[in-house]
A and B are shown apart, each in its own frame.
Chain A
Amino acid sequence: MFILSLGIREQYEISLLQLILMQVNSDKILKRVLFAASLVILLIAAAMIFSLFKGSLPSISRFGWGFLFSPEWDPTQGREHYGALLFIVGTLLTSIVALIIALPLAFFTSLFVAEYFRGTKIAAIVSTLVDLLAGIPSIIYGLWGFYMLRPFIVSLGLSPQGFGVLTSALVLAIMVVPYATSLSNNTIMMVPNELKEAAYSLGATRLEVIRNVILPSARSGMAASYILAFGRAIGETLAVTMLIGNENIIPKGLCSTGNTMASVIANQFGEASGLQLSSLIEIGLLLFVITTLINAAGKYIIKKIA
């Protein structure tokens, strides 16, 4: 404040006209600068879509829609044929299984933090610890999964080497739990106290209050959080690459190996060229579209409740 008033007093040494002019100009300039900055993000988004498209063109023009449904991935010279089906299935399978595993964990942890122990120190500690999970880099998850989880899976006899959909899904689940809980927590805490009191005053137990008052109100927010968590799982690269087994097959079951869209890009992009490169870019485009749609759906639900 002091600086401001100093500045104005100084300015009063100049004529009033100049003062006004100065203000108008600097304001206008600033507004223009800000607007230009906002254009940057628009440009980036547009350019991304454009580049992805352009890069996929050779592949699109060669394979058309069949790309989405073809399980072949053959880079041999002379009879190159690429299709994304393997990877789409692998991605969906790992992400859906991950979500199924994550759901009870996230659901109950949310209730713990936002309802049962709401406001207490232990809830704050649990909440911070869960958020830490979101901070761990994905390569670290991959390492942990590779060196610690995998032998465990092998010892359970579920899979000879321990790679596969289940292992990846387990690690993915742990990675997305924080995303699912944080939004759910907010939604549960937003349920007005008076509604809960009304239910208690009618003789309900805590569980009954949760089931009949909290959950119906928090339902959409929780659904949105799970959708966003799903979107996160779909895009995850490193951890899955290290655990999925990297075989270009359609996974037959939970313990079978496979490949996902993100991991095939990670594995093959470095050495690919020509048509293969273009197909990989097309897979990138697919990933972009899918995650954008999922995130948009989640955001739409959140907007509706707000």
Chain B
Amino acid sequence: MDQTTTLNKKYTSSLSDKEDSSNLLIQSRKLKDRLFKIAAMVFSFITIGMVFLIIGSLLAKGLRQINWAFFTQVAPDTFSAMMAKSSGQVIPGGIVNGILGSIYLVALASAMAVPFGILIGVYVYENSKKRYAAIIRDIADILQGVPSIVIGIIAYIWIVVPLTKGYSVFAGSVALAIMMLPLIVRSTEESLKMVPETLKEAAIALGAPYYKVILRVLIPSSFSGLMGGILLAISRVLGETAPLMLTTLGNPQVNWHIEKPISAVPLLIWQFYNDPNMVDLIWSSAVFLMGFVLILNLTSRWICARKKI
């Protein structure tokens, strides 16, 4: 019982008996603390500032040019654009070929990627303990990290050269589908994981066969998460330019043939950028693209956050 007291008598260190840290030391520590917090706020402010700067300046320049024609007419050719410019008129035309082209491409890509993506996601979810599933998951992640231009090269090699012998919608959508696939796989798996285990058990206890458990319980419960993931994937590929440059390049007219080239909004922007006569059209198209993509992005986020059955 007396051990502690005798032990402590041995130690002569007086430092820890010193009452307080010197005031100076405390003040300097508090100052450093305050400065660091200020630095955090400043840098965050700069980061946010960039968001407003970029989105804001684009909106400022582009909103003016959006009108009904924007959505209904095809992009002007460079000649008529030049004429309009030299006479001081607003460049005629719009980007409807781009808008419809983008829709076509993304719809086709989704038709390819979504079913496979969900199936693979379900597989990985159901077999998550197996080594093979882990490998699949890793491969999906790797695929997600592949630069979009490399995917463009792949689609070129696979489709443009052998199949359609030229730029085509199909090539473009294959490229986009490859980009969407890993996103959908991952988001499907994550959404399924959020369905409480008890729901699944209840269904199984009722004697429901495996496929019914998936179709009737798991998928409906995770539906919002699945939709959110799909929307997110769509918003990602809508803005992609690089893979399309190598696979479908563009088309001044609206086209519905799958083996012919087609335009897309980002491609049109690229086209306008490269043509000195059409530069004015850039801003409205950019605003449209950016606005659409961001709205999709936010919507998908909102959907995912909403229902968590």
Contacts and interface: CB of A to CB of B under 8 A. Distances in A.
A41 B120 contact: yes
Contacts of A108: 39-40, 42-44
Contact of B239 (A107, A139, A148, A235): A139
Contact of A138 (B43, B50, B145, B239): B239
Given A144-B57, A235-B146, A299-B141, A1 B297 contact: no
Interface string B139-158: 11111011111101110111
A60 B301 CA distance: 45
A262 B138 CA distance: 24
A213 interface: no
A148 B57 contact: yes
A136 B57 CA distance: 14
Interface in A101-149: 104-109, 111-113, 116, 126, 128-133, 135-144, 146, 148
A38 B120 contact: yes
Contacts of B51: 129-130, 132-133
14 contacts: A1-B203, A26-B210, A27-B211, A34-B126, A38-B136, A52-B153, A104-B43, A105-B43, A128-B298, A140-B58, A177-B47, A266-B242, A269-B153, A287-B149
Interface of A: 1, 3-5, 7-8, 22-23, 26-27, 29-31, 33-35, 37-38, 40-42, 44-45, 47-48, 51-52, 54-55, 104-109, 111-113, 116, 126, 128-133, 135-144, 146, 148, 174, 177, 205-208, 210, 228, 231-232, 234-238, 242, 262, 265-266, 269-270, 280-281, 284, 287-288, 291-292, 294-296, 299
Interface of B: 29-30, 32-33, 36-37, 39-44, 46-48, 50-51, 54-55, 57-58, 116, 119-120, 122-124, 126, 132-133, 136, 138-143, 145-150, 152-154, 156-158, 178, 181-182, 185, 202-203, 206-212, 214, 216-217, 235-236, 238-242, 245-246, 249, 266, 269-270, 273, 282, 286, 289-290, 293-294, 297-298, 301
